[in-house]
Structure 1
Amino acid sequence: MTGCYIRIKDSLKSLAPKEQKVAEFILEFPEEAMHMSIGELAQTCATSNASVVRLCKSVGYSGFKELCRVLTEELNQQSSIVYEEIHPGDSIDAIVKNVCMSNMKAIESTLSLLDMQTLDRAVDALCKAPRIDFYGAGSSGLVAKDASNKFLRINKITLSNPDPHEQILAATSLRKDDVAVLLSYSGETRDTIETAEVVKATEATLITITKFGKSQLSEMADIKLFTSSSEAMIRSGPMGSRIGQLTMVDILYTAVSSRLYDEIKPYLDKTRLAAQRKHSGKN
């Protein structure tokens, strides 16, 4: 999966002005763009061939030919999931349908951005890590807490704290082979970036989970993972981005559990039993 359209959309704000012109044209007229030559596209956008090539490289492709090939494949295999924005006064039926479609689209788009080699590196680091910390602010902090709870079930020492001051204190004690996973959809959250700076001063591996494209946070990472979201109007909060982040956390947790299954099975059984007793009120 490649997510060409999503890569361009999520990278838009981080692109140079001339690259942005080309990106905006491709996003608005994808079918026209894929049938143009590089010179025609450059002329239409009042820019140069070099700017078109730089855009292609910025979103992860070797050049214009590869971007066109991938975009063509993507347009020919468009998803059947149709998402429409929610507006004031919409019926309950329309809201239910569009919220569900949007969440499904966030998962599908996140899947399209996954690079399996990078994901494998992240899973490898998590498997070997004596300690795994999860850091995030706001809604990303809630996802970080969910991740920490999951990894506790498989006997990983893991920390997660929503307070940015305590995050920094915890990060200072990270050591070689430990892993810190930092979540921020924008990749520009000041508190999370400050925590990342502390992590970089240690020998721990830094994994980031952000939207696709350059950001302050992802540029600091040893391993970059990307999620996607569709958020606007009434859904302009962290709704779609949270779904993408939770999906990525579930992928990482399940992959680590699968790889270490024989080793972690006794702990899975113990934590499952302890949780059942807690829920039933039996000792």
Structure 2
Amino acid sequence: MERIENTLTSCLPRIRSGFNDLTKTEQKTATYILENPSEVIHMTITELAEAAQNAEATVFRLCKKLGFSGYQELKIALAGDLYSPLESVYKEVDPVDSIGTMIGKIFNGINEGLQDTIKILDEEAVEKAIKAIISTKRIYVYASGGSAVVATDIEHRFMRFGISVRAYSDPHLQIASATLLEPGDVVIAVSHTGSNRDILDAVKMANNNQITTIAITSYMRSPLSQLASIALHGMGREITYRSEAMASRLIHLAIVDVLYIGSLLRQQDKIIENMNKVRKAIAKRKM
């Protein structure tokens, strides 16, 4: 994992985002940190290793894998998480919850996911993605399942800029599209897990054509993150009684908003002119 500069307030989000890519022993330590964050900031590396029933070397490897220089830096970042207004551990929706409680938990989960994403979203990667978008004439978006909603949103939004945008959720069309990519094209691949085989195949094909590929995913160390030219990560705290990627889908839509507004601000005159043309055309269709 590449070193992330904003270390002071991004420990817990990083653990959640990279959890599935940790080894079993590393997951034991990570789980202990997630469940006992206020205790961990006062522990030595030896005490944490003993509490998690692991070796000190395992704790150190976990720190390095998360992007920290060592255990002390992890604790500094953890303290930054704990002393923010956010809760450290998200409360699950329970069958006996009232409607009001359920609403509160779901909305708080979405809000916390957005706050987590602010902490782990790489500003340099966002800048590169925006530059790629405003420099291209054609964007192709690949996604499937729940992420297809995000792909459709990208298509709907960015076509208003005067850019040719096509979203594909069918794996055969994704491969066909990736095969025919030309220099200067941009591919945006959206996947919650970053492990969808069809998406990965399409991105590999795009890379073979030397195309800029942008990944929007929830896991920093996912195969998609490793494949893409630019990786943007959003962390949604998934909870019981919800589809796997519901919260993450909303977080990914927020990342799309960032790309949309960022692109708009960098080419205001050209883009606003195109958007006004679209608005006038649509207005004629209204009663």
The TM-score normalised by the length of structure 2 is 0.90
Q: Give the aligned partner of residue 10 of structure 2.
A: 3
Deviation at residue 177 of structure 1 after TM alignment: 2.6
CA distance in 1 between partners of 2:76 and 2:234 (Å): 23
Q: Is the 8 A contact 1:7 1:59 kept in 2?
A: yes
Q: Give the aligned partner of residue 187 of structure 1.
A: 194
Q: Give the aligned partner of residue 171 of structure 1.
A: 178
Structure 1 position 121 matched with structure 2 position 125? no
Structure 1 position 238 matched with structure 2 position 227? no
* Residue in structure 2 matching 1:134, options 133, 141, 144: 141
Q: Give the aligned partner of residue 88 of structure 1.
A: 95
Deviation at residue 68 of structure 1 after TM alignment: 0.8
Structure 1 position 63 matched with structure 2 position 103? no
Deviation at residue 82 of structure 1 after TM alignment: 9.2
Q: Is the 8 A contact 1:34 1:68 kept in 2?
A: yes
Q: Is the 8 A contact 1:143 1:242 kept in 2?
A: yes
The one-letter code matched in structure 1 to 2:164 is I
Q: Is the 8 A contact 1:86 1:235 kept in 2?
A: no
Q: Give the aligned partner of residue 33 of structure 1.
A: 40
* Residue in structure 1 matching 2:209, options 202, 207, 230: 202
SS state at 2:168 partner? coil
CA distance in 2 between partners of 1:237 and 1:175 (Å): 35
| Segment of structure 1 superposing worse, 148-157 or 116-125 | 116-125
The one-letter code matched in structure 1 to 2:75 is C
Structure 1 position 254 matched with structure 2 position 261? yes
Structure 2 vs 1, CA of residues 244 and 223 (structure 1 numbering), >3 Å: closer, same or farther? Answer: same
Q: Is the 8 A contact 1:82 1:101 kept in 2?
A: no
The one-letter code matched in structure 2 to 1:76 is Y
Q: Is the 8 A contact 1:180 1:204 kept in 2?
A: yes
Gaps of 5+ in 1: none
CA deviation vs aligned residue, 1:97-131 (integer Å, no higher than 9, x gap)? 33322222222222222121121111111121221
SS state at 1:188 partner? coil
Q: CA RMSD in A?
A: 2.0
CA distance in 1 between partners of 2:244 and 2:46 (Å): 40
Q: Is the 8 A contact 2:82 2:88 kept in 1?
A: no
The one-letter code matched in structure 2 to 1:55 is L
SS state at 1:234 partner? coil
Deviation at residue 8 of structure 1 after TM alignment: 0.5
CA deviation vs aligned residue, 1:225-266 (integer Å, no higher than 9, x gap)? 101112222113432011111001111111011111122121
What is the total number of aligned residue pairs between the two structures? 280
Identity across matched positions, percent: 34
Structure 1 position 103 matched with structure 2 position 110? yes
Q: Give the aligned partner of residue 3 of structure 2.
A: none
The one-letter code matched in structure 2 to 1:86 is V
The one-letter code matched in structure 2 to 1:96 is I
Gaps of 5+ in 2: 1-5
SS state at 1:217 partner? helix
Deviation at residue 137 of structure 1 after TM alignment: 0.3
The TM-score normalised by the length of structure 1 is 0.91
